[in-house]
Amino acid sequence: MQIQPDDIVFVLNPNSGNALHPRTLTAMCHAACNEAGHRAHVVATRNPLEAAETARAAHESGAAAIFGCGGDGTLSALLQGLPVGSQTALGAVPLGTANVWAYETNLPTTPFAAVSAQLAALDGISGEVAWVDTGRVWSTNPDGSIGQQRFLLMASWGLDAAAVSGIVGSDRRSRMKRMLGEPAYFLSAVQEAIGRQAWPIAISVDGGEPFQVDAAMLTVGNTRMLGTWLEVNPKANVVDGELDMLLVEGAPWKALALSPLARYGWLPQGPGVRNLRFQHLEIAMLGNPMPTQVDGDPGPPTAYAVDVEPQALLALCPVPTSEVLGG
Ligand SMILES: [Mg+2]
């Protein structure tokens, strides 16, 4: 079956271990679309590249929306296939570990209700379809060419990226993630912080004079939260055409020690902890390169710049008053 104009495309990974069986999920997608008078087109993809190709095909076919059935990594994979300014809107069927985008935009937590609410936004019944900002990370590929990756939520350098890589690179920690969910990232961060030194870097914000810091962590947020636990960029929203950065200086354990405060949005501003807002950021590694993560998956090790892409993505927003949507 070919994707037709105005179709609603759903991308699911049959091997993801989601709580819903692929057959149940497929039936649910069709049922929600039938109820709203749309035609569902469900595509099984096995990896992020296939998901991105499906998003590109959906865009080229004029699909009204594409939903990622999974976590934030699935949404990120779809984003890579959508060009800036695509008329195909992005939707989420929250089935991942953290579902940060769904959390930030106040989507209903059950899959059927989440799809129905987003279709109601698409149809202008309640909520809205909003142009939201995205970010783009620039890096150098091993062959010297320029690499790039878009993000919806966040890119970061340092301790939390080391925690993400620690989970991806270790069977034991991956099992811990499946068993514990989000707390596994905190435990991984504890293990990564032990004995680690700060990373010396130089940063330039919006073309300004570079400044040097010994950093524990640097998060660049389109949205506010690191996972659904830590409010690292409390003033970030996805409609202001800027990205928000949290820079924590010092040894990585310092960032860890601050996490209980970030849990409640109480991060102090002052020496060693800074929130900045920018459109363009450049980072130079002056010592060991910092690990990176983009939307919850390990990022390119040679990432050197970040740009905001203002109003680059159509998002289905049943609750436009959500803080992250500027409401
Ligand atoms: Mg912003």
Q: Supply the pLDDT for residue 17.
A: 65
Q: Supply the pLDDT for residue 152.
A: 98
Rounded distance from Cα 174 to ligand 1 centre (Å): 31
Rounded distance from Cα 181 to ligand 1 centre (Å): 27
Quote the Cα angle for 65-83-246, to 5°.
Answer: 95
Rounded distance from Cα 166 to ligand 1 centre (Å): 29
| CATH code for residues 8-126 | 3.40.50.10330
Q: Supply the pLDDT for residue 85.
A: 98
User: What percent of the chain shows pLDDT beyond 90?
Assistant: 76
Best CATH choice for the domain 135-311 from the list 2.40.50.100, 2.60.200.40, 3.40.50.2300, 1.25.40.20: 2.60.200.40
What mean pLDDT is reported for the chain?
93
Rounded distance from Cα 323 to ligand 1 centre (Å): 11
Which candidate, 326, 294, 321, places its Cα nearest to that of 219?
294
Rounded distance from Cα 23 to ligand 1 centre (Å): 38
Look up residue 91 and give its two tokens. 């939707």
Rounded distance from Cα 234 to ligand 1 centre (Å): 11
Rounded distance from Cα 131 to ligand 1 centre (Å): 12
Q: Could you report the per-residue pLDDT of 248-294, keeping only the tens digit for each?
A: 999 999 999 888 888 887 888 888 999 999 999 999 999 999 999 99
Rounded distance from Cα 78 to ligand 1 centre (Å): 21
Q: What is the DSSP string of 186-231?
A: HHHHHHHHTTPPPEEEEEEETT---EEEEEEEEEEESSSEETTTEE
In the chain, which residues fall in CATH 2.60.200.40?
135-311
Rounded distance from Cα 192 to ligand 1 centre (Å): 29
| Of the listed ranges 26-35, 42-51, 166-175, the one predicted with least confidence | 166-175
Rounded distance from Cα 3 to ligand 1 centre (Å): 33
Q: Could you report the per-residue pLDDT of 66-115, keeping only the tens digit for each?
A: 999 999 999 999 999 999 999 999 999 999 888 999 999 999 999 999 99
Q: Supply the pLDDT for residue 268.
A: 80
pLDDT at 119 over 70: yes
In the chain, which residues fall in CATH 3.40.50.10330?
8-126
Report the 10 Å Cβ neighbour count for 238.
31
pLDDT at 133 over 90: yes
